[in-house]
Structure formats: C-alpha cells, structure tokens
Structure 1
C-alpha cells in the first residue's frame, strides 16, 4: 500500500517529519504550556499539519514503546526499538496496514529528536528591571524591547514562534518582521500577536493597556465578552477568546471584567524619554504612576482629595521635580520618616 492510499492525500515528507517530532515533544514529561502554544501555532499554519498529526498519532499510540525508546536513548541502541515497534503493529489486529518505511521513518525521527535533546525547544530567558531602572533589550531576531521600571518578561524563541510573557510592568516592543514566526506577548488579560510592528503593552495593577505605534496587532482576549450572557459565552461560543485587531494609532484600555473596554488614540509613552506627562488625571493616578520609579512613598492626608485633577510633566527619577509639581497645586510634602512623605494642602 502506498503512502497516498494510506492517508488519502499526499502529505509532504517534511510535514510528516514535523508531525512526528510534535508527537514526541507533547508526549514528553517536559512538555509545558509554551510547547502547547507553539503546537497550536503550527496547526494554524497549514491544514496538512493537523492531518499529518492525526495520521501519525494512532501509530505512536499502538507502538506503545515510548518507555523502551527512552531506555534506548540512554544506550544509543535505537536499532533494538525498531523490530519491537514493527511487531507491536503487526500484532494489532485492528491496525491499518502501514508501509514499513513509514513506521521506521517516524520512529527514527522521534528518536533523533530526543537524542539531540532539542525537538525545537529552547530555554526561557528572563529580563527584569528594579524600581527606578529601565532597560533596552536586543533580542536574537533583531527585535527590541524597552522595559520600563519594575517590570519582568520571559522570552522564549523557537522555530515555530516567538513568545514573550509580560509577568508584570510595562514594555514597548519593536518587532522584526518574520512571517513564519508570529511574535506573541502573553499578559494576564490575554495575548497580543504581531508579525512586524511596534506596540506598547501595560500590565499594571489598575492599568492594563495595548497601544499600537506602528503596524497592526491582534489582541486575543481571554476574558468573556461583556455583551454575552454566561450561557452564550460557554455554550454558543464554547468559551472561545475574543480576537480584536488594532491598527496603528489605536489603543485599548482593558477595564474590569463585565465592562466595555475603552478605545483611545495611541501615543508613544513619555517614559522612553525619562518623562511622565499628565493631563487632567486624578492625583491618586499620578501618585501611583510616579511611585513605580522611586522607593519613596507618598500618602495623602485626609484634607487632600485623591480625585484632584492635575496636569504637567515630571522627570521619572527626580523626586525634587515631583515635589515642585505638587507644590504648584498647593500641596505640601512633610517628611515623616526616611523615604516617606505625607501630602497635605498648604495652609
């Protein structure tokens, strides 16, 4: 029986090779969420990927030799595995007749992947900044990350994708174009996917935002659509995430669950130039933002409203600049102890 007759449609050998590698990779005890995300991306790239995976998966299951294969890796004796695999299939009365060369190819490919210890998998690299620190990071594909203060990202590149997890904080991503490997940023509220673009992602307490400075990104929002009922979300849409496209100049502020997000005009963040700019923002919001850049803490006295609207510019790392800014609104700062100020209205 020919390969075409077996699978009903010719699948290129390189796709079969990749499918065999994915079977082994996902069956490994070391498989993690990054592997599963990359596998999902691989399936999306070509309908034949899913077909090849579906055809080879039963072969792997019927062989039931994964344990023997792992033992053989330790000895380098892959030859002993092949007869066992062929016999397992031959003894399976329900197994479809599959050409010997197809079995051998799949097993050898899987073995080689494990022996090499790669299977397309790379290490996760972590970058982080302390309070009051910023960092410019050059990634291996030519992309650049501008990491703001008190922020942390985890970067993992592979043959199938470029993955960044923004654990906390804020970052600007200038992405090198690579049509074969989407660039994904994972956040607490969803994922941002791009090919070649420039965008800002904020994942801060009380402030979550995506702004597109150049190109186009797709926001894959894991939160339920507030326009849907719980029944519609789980039964009609099967809990699928929302996908929204943002173009250059667009910015979306992610609000609390059950509320409609706010669409705004995107602007390049001032912190890239060491400045914070506010226009009619509540005093409490300005305080929270400035506090990310300093170890000094500020507390509002009862006579000072946190909703007082303020406007102006301050240097991110200059406490004196911030105190002068407060003074322009008749706000006095009284030192109570080291690195701690009480803010009150001037008498």
Structure 2
C-alpha cells in the first residue's frame, strides 16, 4: 500500500498452493472418503510448506465463499464413528466418487484465478459480500462482491489498481496528488468525482455519478478509433476487450453502479456476462454445461439479492435450465 508497490500481473501460481487447493477440493467433494482424507493428511505432514499452503488455501476458500462446509445441523446428526473401508464398492458409489472428483478438478481450474486475485490484493470481498472501505486520505470505496483492489499511494499520486470486479469511488480532494484508478490497460483519472469502474472478461466499464473523469485505454483499438474519453455526470463508457471499440452513452446519474442497490442492468450483453455477475453473488458454485447458450444476447434487470432466482429468470427465455447438484452447486444447461 505504498508508492513503491510493484506490478505482478504475470506472477505464476505457487505449485504447492495449487496442490493444496486440489487436495482441499477433493476432500470437500468426498467428505466421507476416509482413504482420500488420510492421503491428504499424509501430504500435509510431508513438509512444513505443505501444511502452510493448506492453511492458506483454507483461508482463501473462506474468503471466496466457494463451497461452504456442511451445515452444522447436518454435522450434528451424524454420529462420530470409525467406518471400516470395504474392498469392494458398489458401481454407483464409484461413479459418484468419480463424478465428484471430476467436479473438484473443474472447480480447481475455475478457482485458481480467484485465489491469485485474493493473494495479490490489499482489499478483497468474498462472493455475495459488498464492502465499504475508507482509504487513508478519506476516499470512500464501495467494493462489489468478488472484487479486489490494491492501493499505491505516493507523494505525487494516489493510485488504486482494480484487480478484478467492480468498485465505486467517492474521491477525497487533494490537488497536490491526483487520484487514478488503473487495471488491464485502463487508466481513469479523477477530476473531482464519484465514479464506478468495472473489469470483466468481456469489457471495461466506467460510469460517472458526479464530477468528471478522463479515461485512457492502452489496449488495441481499431485504426482511427479513440483511445481516450472524458465522462461527465451520467456518462458511461464500455470498452469491448475483443475489439477495442468504445461504446459511450448517458443515463441519469442515479443509475450509475446500480449493483450497489442489488440490481444488475444489462443491455444487449451476453448471457455469459449475466451468469458471471450472478456467480459473484452466489455463495457456492455455478457450473455451466452449455457454452453455446452463454453467447445469447440479453437485455433486462435482475435482482442480485436473490442470485438463484436471478439466474433462473435470465435463463428461462432462452431455454436454459438450472439443476441443483448440492445445496452449494448449481448446474446450468440448455434445453
């Protein structure tokens, strides 16, 4: 959180931490598999670094809200006893275990970027969490669910890197130190402002509630297209990450960053984007089985305070279905 913060966008994931996450997910997916649990214990005991990585994985797991442990009531109903391992398991159980391990492997792939995000950040939110943060200069940051920032304040500039997700900034005045938000080829400089910035795989979004900002984009853009823009109250800019095109419009200032009030408003955006936004508010896992369905374009308003209902509402007009695998895992598939 100093002016000397270094950039580490391409820092590799720790292989020991990756293995620890793999063990954690497998044991969560198969909580009654004593052999698997024993193997995980042996791995943890093999080296102090393994145990350290395991504890770090558990901490990040709790932060992400990925797949909560068994409810207390369910645990209380299960008597503590030693269950001898059988040499032969039923075909049904073997299939179930195989499916669970396969699901755990897919979850590892999905969670590794989130784990890296959490390890890099100064401030971070879990899935379903929204947080208000006051920085050292009095600037207020509202951090959306599953989002992260890193702060680098120096003598001549106040800089906040949005690592991922969405954030709304009400900037404290300090004319001697300009305030800027950066992230993924984006730089947004405050000009006495309250504004929002969002980063997702499809686009970069900026919206101004009051004051003004100057936006500069260092990524690839079509020949002759702008690389910067000024936004005034109500101004919105969406930069398509695939094409580099700027899509600018204007709304009522009160409509900026409606996610603060639990609403997701989309206009001609992909269903994949909608599912990704809902996933950040859901306290479990949402697994998509039909990628073609995710390419459909949608327009609508969805209530993020009830993520599962919002998911069903978004999918229903396009023939999508939501199946409940466990209380914490939803499966999205086509008709």
* Alpha-carbon distance in structure 2 between the residues aligned to 1:328 and 1:161: 48
Equivalenced residues, count: 216
* Alpha-carbon distance in structure 2 between the residues aligned to 1:225 and 1:306: 23
Larger Rg: 1
Task: Tell me, yes or no, if structure 1 residue 128 matches structure 2 residue 113.
Answer: no
Within 5 Å, give how 1:286-297 maps onto structure 2. Answer: 286-294=274-282, 295-297=284-286
**RMSD across aligned positions (CA):** 3.3
Residues 304-313 or 149-158, more deviating: 304-313
Partner of 1:106: none
**What is the deviation of 1:170?**
1.0
CA contact (8 A) 1:282 1:307 kept: yes
**What is the deviation of 1:228?**
5.1
Partner of 1:247: 232
CA contact (8 A) 1:181 1:195 kept: no
The 3 A distance-change label for structure 1 pair 304 and 31 is: closer
Residues 301-310 or 261-270, more deviating: 301-310
Query: RCO (CA 8 Å, sep 6+): is it higher in 1 or 2?
Result: 2
The 3 A distance-change label for structure 1 pair 281 and 339 is: same
> Helix, strand or coil for the counterpart of 2:275?
helix
Flag structure 1 segments of 5+ consecutive residues without an equivalent.
1-29, 35-123, 230-240
Residues 207-216 or 289-298, more deviating: 289-298
* Alpha-carbon distance in structure 1 between the residues aligned to 2:271 and 2:163: 27
Task: Tell me, yes or no, if structure 1 residue 208 matches structure 2 residue 204.
Answer: yes
Partner of 1:179: 175
* Alpha-carbon distance in structure 2 between the residues aligned to 1:175 and 1:261: 25
Task: Tell me, yes or no, if structure 1 residue 191 matches structure 2 residue 180.
Answer: no
- TM-score, reference length from structure 2: 0.55
**What is the deviation of 1:183?**
0.5
Partner of 1:340: 330
Partner of 1:164: 160
* Alpha-carbon distance in structure 1 between the residues aligned to 2:178 and 2:233: 18
Task: Tell me, yes or no, if structure 1 residue 274 matches structure 2 residue 262.
Answer: yes
CA contact (8 A) 1:216 1:247 kept: yes
Within 5 Å, give how 1:71-90 maps onto structure 2. Answer: none
* Cα displacement string for residues 53-110 of structure 1 (whole angstroms, at most 9, x for unaligned residues): xxxxxxxxxxxxxxxxxxxxxxxxxxxxxxxxxxxxxxxxxxxxxxxxxxxxxxxxxx
**What is the deviation of 1:291?**
1.3
Residues 268-277 or 220-229, more deviating: 220-229
CA contact (8 A) 1:312 1:325 kept: no
Partner of 1:220: 216
**What is the deviation of 1:333?**
2.2
* Alpha-carbon distance in structure 2 between the residues aligned to 1:134 and 1:268: 16
* Alpha-carbon distance in structure 2 between the residues aligned to 1:146 and 1:270: 12
